Structure 1
Amino acid sequence: MAKIDLSKMNFDELKELQKDLPKAIEEFTERRRREALAAAKEAAAAAGFSLEELVGKPSKPKGGFLPAKYRHPENPEVTWSGRGRRPAWIKEALDEGKSLEDFAI
């Protein structure tokens, strides 16, 4: 991996890096999750099963499913119901002066 020399970056470049980092981490984590799921399905199929046969079907959350109320502006697959802890992308946007209505579905 290329090493980034932060000491040579100006303030604006550092702020841009800070802004882009949570999204990059989120995308990396999601990509790894999809790869792990594909590998698990492949292993189950090699043994003659579906993954659902081995681990059961996914269940609904205890409180029931809550529809999404807010959508990430750059990644429409990322949503938030408006309940529970605020996601980092919502917090950052609010700190930048945006409102929740800017992300309403």
Structure 2
Amino acid sequence: MKIDLENMSLKELRDLHKAVGRQIDSYEAKKKEQAMAAAQQVAEEHGFSLKELLGGGKAAKTTVAPKYANPDNMSETWTGRGRQPRWVKGHLDAGGSIDDLLIK
């Protein structure tokens, strides 16, 4: 199939663009559906449902109590998870211990 894009009007090009976009979306949806069916089948072969394996969605966020505090500004705290705040890095770079920052 050869399409002469050079001789198409702007309206024809836009219509073609929309049609191609719809076809791509349809193709991706069909492939995703096939992949989900295949994943479900494999999960069932192992005695699980796909929902069980995937955990049924994101877990609810829980609040974690802070474990460390900045001795210079006690309102700055850190749970010990994720990236270290600058004040923690600064303390460690200055030769301090992480245990110095523990909230007692």
- Band of TM-score, shorter chain: 0.3 to 0.5
Superposition TM-score, scaled by structure 2 size: 0.45
The higher relative CO (CA closer than 8 Å, separation ≥ 6) is in 1
Larger Rg: 2
The answer to which structure has the higher strand fraction is 2
TM-score, length-normalised on structure 1? 0.45
